[in-house]
Amino acid sequence: MKIFSKKIERLSKLLNIVIALVLCFFLISLSGRVMRDMEDWGDKPRTSQFLNDTLIANSRAAMVALDEERALALDNKQRTEKAMDLAEANYNNAKSSYENWLKARTVIGSPTEDQAVLSRAEQLDEYHKTAQAWAKKLSGITTEIETLQKRRNAFQDKINKETKRAKDEQTEAYRAYDLKVFLGRLLIILPILLLGIYFIIKFRNHKYWPLFLGYVLFSFYSFFVGLIPYLPHYGGYVRYTVGIVLSVLLGGYGINKIRAFVAKRKEELKASTEERAKKVVSEIAEKALNEHACPSCGKDFLVKQWDKGTGKAVADFCRYCGMELFKKCKRCETENFAHLPYCSGCGDRITDEEETQ
């Protein structure tokens, strides 16, 4: 029966843990959905909201017109380059022919023959002038293209500056939006955390504590872990500050509780062993026996090898507080733990009923 009771106790603890974890899981899932949906509660700031649409439209229209002019100029430049190449080729051919002609003939100095030389030279100059004219025109077209490109770049710079200004304004607006959403989430999560702390303080011994524990685990997870993906850059300060405050408050609460418990135990040990024995319940007595500890002060009652005494393996009375630990049954004289209700030899009651309540 004792083994069965221990199994039931272990199963009960395991079941309580499972209940707490299952409830915690569903609460975390629900809160995560709520946190994600909060992003849709308001429109996020967009760059387009802060752009000067008129300036952008006019600049782009001017850029389109300049691109068309530049395309025509490039086409004209291409034709001019071809014409200039042809003129230079004609000049080079004529010059080569003229030089060959001069070498091939003998100048006799007659006016007729001098006039032929001058004519060929004038014709060569005309070819050269034509090539120079096309080169000059090409230079003008190139300058025009560069001017058009500079004007286009100026409009592009206007668009870039306007876009940067709009993005800067969007960043400022997004910070305000981010703060608004963060405060909304914090207003939801912070009360959940405070309620979890309240449950720890008030309902630790409640019969439905596994349910309260599930909520407590959820509240701490939601604040210190679940809120992390939604924290702005300054959100960590809030989380760590709250963590410090809770550590101080809960730490102080725990220290005070421990001190109060120690003081209470000291006061209890001042009472007579009979009075203390009356306050030992069966559950405490069974646990004390399993851990071979005094149910009053918690000290070990096993007799060590270096202890001098009657040679028994256990002490009949606690050597630290004087509490009676073992006594014989009045009916069968079987030695029993003094704080369990019934004799292990005959089943007769060995403690008074009011002592085991």
Confidence at residue 150, expressed as pLDDT on a 0 to 100 scale: 92
Q: What is the DSSP letter of 297?
A: T
Are residues 338 and 327 in contact, defined by beta-carbon separation less than 8 angstroms? yes
Q: Which amino acid is at 26?
A: F
- Phi–psi pair at 314, nearest 5 degrees: -130, 160
Regarding whether 70 and 47 lie in a shared domain, the answer is yes
Residue found by looking up tokens 């004792």 in the block: 2
List all residues 6 or more positions away from 327 whose beta carbon is below 8 Å from its beta carbon: 316, 335, 336, 338, 350
Q: Helix, strand, or coil here: 33?
A: helix
Regarding whether 49 and 70 lie in a shared domain, the answer is yes
Confidence at residue 357, expressed as pLDDT on a 0 to 100 scale: 42
- Nearest-angstrom CA–CA distance, 300 and 186: 50
Regarding whether 54 and 188 lie in a shared domain, the answer is yes
Regarding whether 186 and 254 lie in a shared domain, the answer is no
Strand (E) or helix (H) holding 335: strand 335-337
DSSP β-ladder status, 326-328 and 335-337: antiparallel
Regarding whether 181 and 195 lie in a shared domain, the answer is yes
Regarding whether 166 and 21 lie in a shared domain, the answer is yes
Point out the domain boundary residue: 210, 242, 270: 270
Point out the domain boundary residue: 228, 253, 283: 228
Range of the domain at 208: 1-228
Regarding whether 200 and 158 lie in a shared domain, the answer is yes
Point out the domain boundary residue: 228, 252, 283: 228
Regarding whether 108 and 191 lie in a shared domain, the answer is yes
Regarding whether 258 and 240 lie in a shared domain, the answer is yes
Regarding whether 134 and 265 lie in a shared domain, the answer is no
Locate 87 and state its tokens: 């003129």
Q: How many distinct structural domains can be found in the chain?
A: 3
- Nearest-angstrom CA–CA distance, 241 and 243: 5
Residue found by looking up tokens 């091939």 in the block: 104
Q: Where are the beta strands (DSSP E) in 171-319?
A: none
- Nearest-angstrom CA–CA distance, 327 and 350: 9
Confidence at residue 157, expressed as pLDDT on a 0 to 100 scale: 92
**Per-position DSSP letters for 45-84, written without gaps between them:** P-GGGGS-HHHHHHHHHHHHHHHHHHHHHHHHHHHHHHHH
Q: Tens-digit pLDDT profile for the chain (357 aa)?
A: 344 455 666 777 788 888 888 888 888 888 777 777 766 666 777 777 778 888 888 888 988 998 888 899 889 888 888 888 888 888 788 777 777 666 665 544 444 455 666 676 777 778 788 888 888 888 888 888 899 899 999 999 999 998 888 888 888 888 887 777 777 777 888 888 889 888 888 888 888 888 888 998 888 888 777 776 666 565 566 667 777 887 888 788 778 888 887 777 677 666 655 565 555 666 677 777 777 788 777 777 776 654 555 556 677 788 777 778 888 888 888 888 887 888 878 888 876 544 444
Regarding whether 337 and 220 lie in a shared domain, the answer is no
List all residues 6 or more positions away from 128 whose beta carbon is below 8 Å from its beta carbon: 91
Contacts 24+ apart (CB under 8 A), 80-86: 80/134, 80/137, 80/138, 80/141, 81/138, 83/134, 84/131, 84/134, 84/135, 84/137, 84/138
- Nearest-angstrom CA–CA distance, 342 and 309: 27
CB atoms within 10 A of CB 89: 12
Regarding whether 156 and 283 lie in a shared domain, the answer is no
